């Protein structure tokens, strides 16, 4: 009986000491943590209820075409207006500037 007790005690001690390095090795192991994404620039909302190109009311020709241009949300009445916008964005962006 004494031999069994000694063997059992030795087995428990060996198991405890061999598991300790495994627990310590996991400390500081961080590849499971999600990486912080870079902050996205805040997009300014489109405040007009008309197409910036044609001045038609949005929604009259179906669902508006919505996209972001240089951190500014843009809404157009149709895909055809996107071609005009892309030719000279500065011309149309002036409509979004505050009136003096």
Domain ranges of the chain: 42-100
Cα–Cα distance for residue pair 99/26, rounded to 1 Å:
61
Which pLDDT does position 88 carry in this prediction?
97
Is the pTM for the entire model greater than 0.85? no
Residues paired with 76 in a beta bridge: 65
In the predicted model, residues of the chain with pLDDT beneath 50 are none
CA-CA-CA-CA dihedral for 12, 18, 20, 25, to nearest 10: -160
Q: By CB neighbour count within 10 A (0-12 exposed, 13-18 middle, 19+ buried), where does 77 fall?
A: buried
pLDDT at residue 39, as a whole number: 72
């Amino acid at each position: 009986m004494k031999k069994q007790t000694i063997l059992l005690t030795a087995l428990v001690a060996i198991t405890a000491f061999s598991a300790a390095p495994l627990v310590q090795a996991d400390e500081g192991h961080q590849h499971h943590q999600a990486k912080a994404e870079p902050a996205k620039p805040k997009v300014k909302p489109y405040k007009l209820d008309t197409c910036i190109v044609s001045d038609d009311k949005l929604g009259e020709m179906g669902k508006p075409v919505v996209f972001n241009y240089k951190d500014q949300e843009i809404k157009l009445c149709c895909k055809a207006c996107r071609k005009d916008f892309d030719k000279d964005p500065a011309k149309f962006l002036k409509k979004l500037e505050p009136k003096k």
